[in-house]
Structure 1
Amino acid sequence: CSNSPENLFPTDKPKAVLSVSPSWLSPGTSVTLSCEVEHSSAGWRFYWYKAVPDLSGTSYSYELLPGSINGTEQDSYIIHGKTQTAGFTCRAGRGDPEYYSDYSDPKFVWSGDFHPAASLTVNPDTVQHFSSTSVSLSCEGNSTKWRVIGSINNVFMLQCSILGTMNGSTCNVDRILPVDIVYWCESGSAFSNAVNITGHIILVSPVHPVTEGDSVTLGCKLRTQNVLSNVFFYKDDKLIQNDSRGEMSISAVSESDEGFYKCQYSGKESPQSWMAVKSSSSEKSSFPVLLITGLVCGVLLILILLFLLMCCCRKIKGEMFYIQ
């Protein structure tokens, strides 16, 4: 057995491979990162990183996640309470001195929620789009420099320039690809909400949160047909309705209706979309708040006017006394 440096430290580093679950975030969901080393035996320690966009090029820099500075024996890492789109990577090390694998390719978890620091707006304003339709993706937030990223199956990363043209902070997508692509915006420190653009079938669902008690209708569209029959609707991957009309209606939405929805037709399945439900009490309570605020402001205004009037009266009396 040879102890030469070539055997201890091979020139071809093994590659770390990262997987994330789930890919789409919902409130309160924990994200599990799993890392393995290709074609390698056991004995590795695992290091976990978040991806930070490097806008000087097309890549990312990496920052260690909490508790990962010395690595972990476990090949998985759980993140609690993640609510915004984010990217992650991992690598592994073993031996003394420690020998490291290559970093994994970055993987992403996506959120449909808007965030003030970074948001993606789409024209036309729908949750899902056909890849045969031209769309404009606009980035807004606390940055003057943006890039738009598209991902195919969380594996292949595409810049806006491959699919269209970047004009300032807007990506105009006009190149048709018959595949599902998830798009989002990146600044130097933030990721935006994400949107699906799909090749075959889409779920028609509300863009904005639905108020409790309101009615809502979900539809299913195929690129070659407007109206479908025998459509299967799923919520959180559970079949909830088989509708011959190609749509599903909820007469009075409740909090329990919040979740991920998708539709299926003739073996083809749409991407899933998050339907958010907001409390009706928040809207009802806004009127009393506005009323009280208005009354307080009105009383203050009256007091100020009375004070000014008293000052004017005293000044006039003083001047009259001086004249006499």
Structure 2
Amino acid sequence: FTFVLAKLRADNTAVPLGGSVTLTCSVNHSSSSGWKYDWYIENSGVLVSPEDAVFLSNGQIRVSQGGHYWCIGERVNPVYSSEYTSNRPVVTLYPNWSEIYRGETITVRCEIHGGDTEWDYEWETNSVIKPPNQNEYRIRSASSSNSGNYRCKGRMKSSQHKTTEWSDSVTLTVSIPSKPTVTLQPSWTQIYSGETVTVRCEIQGGEGAQWTYEWKPAKLNTPPTSNEYRITVTESDSGGYSCRGRRDYFFTEWSDIITLTVSCKIFHPEPVVTLYPNWSEIYRGETITVRCEIHGGDTEWDYEWETNSRIKAPNQNEYRIRSASSSNSGNYRCKGRMKSSQHKTTEWSDSVTLTVSDKTVYKPRPVLTVSPSWLSPGASVTLNCEVEHPSAGWSFYWYKAVPDLSEKSSSYELLPDGSGTAQDSYIIHGQTHTAGYVCRAGRGDPEYHTDHSQPKFVWSAGQFDSFCPFNKVFSNTDLIKICFIF
């Protein structure tokens, strides 16, 4: 007899629950007629009986139970045979984690269920290291060389030409473990006795694995399956915290240390309201900032304001008023509420009064004095500019008054180095003739300016004709009036 492998097809690779599978046996031969087919189950050579299957036609049956089937086509000579098994192999990983770390132990296993057939195994993989032809491959210290896709098939020990299909592939990924991270919630490291802190150990990768945790200090090691602890801290909880993870016999590295500092004092930070700039009186149109400051630690705060001004301050740590008016006048106080624990608040601060002067629609006007007002030619003259609230950070501007007799008015020329000086006095050296002077002041950012002062004059004998031309009659301005008098 000549033996040639017959062809066996199945319309499904597994018998569905309550269903059946149709098997078809055929011989691809130049003389394809006259074949008779016998069906067998398992490796015992038992013919399939009508109780085990429905015989649809010559070469086709329907079965409702799993097992290992083959068929023989007979036409005296030759005999052709094939086989079918509904037990497709499955590759499994033990433990079945999505990611394996370098140095861990992992088993890759080929499983074929059903019956008592004995199998030889064949593996196919694109990993660098090939597994042996056994039903399982135990990797005792995994490395990146073991990463890859694995699939297997079985070959019957009793009939080596009879094999299963290839299993589906399973991917094994071996990676280098990252160092765990310790985090604190809230995230600041300076806190006070009585506050609650959550210490957490975070391990990237290895999802689905059952980790246990070790902590330094060791008082956090119970229970070991918890990766976080809530602590109502006392001074004894100050110190460095680190963790590592364990699964089976594998340990990660210890995390970097994060230091927690607990202050033993009672937690009573006091907010303070400050004004920038801190002037006793603000003029209408000036820019002013009202600020709530809470000192101590790096706690993060929400802010609340209380004021009797007509315009309410927003709940932020500062309120910038870009063009002040009397509506902003009033008393201001604030308190803080911890972002991490909204029921914990400070006391109210002391009140600070903001006064916006709205007595007149005009700006304040400084007063200029000159000394001496009568002088000998070549003498020095001192100008003094006096402004309301002199300690409020004023800068001074100094000008020479130049009469424009045709327009019956005067203009101002800035004196040398006379722009924004911090001194409220200005010295003119070598004065030789009659002249008029004015000043004004400014403060703040952006700078707010007063009006110009009234002009003041330094008189030099014999110089009136050049300063006030003869036979002219003027009015309106002080400068022109003085010319008229003389």
What is the TM-score normalised by the length of structure 1? 0.36
Higher helix proportion, which one?
1
Q: Which has the higher contact order (CA 8 A, sep 6+)?
A: 1
Normalising by structure 2, report the TM-score. 0.25
Which protein has the larger Cα radius of gyration, Structure 1 or Structure 2? 2
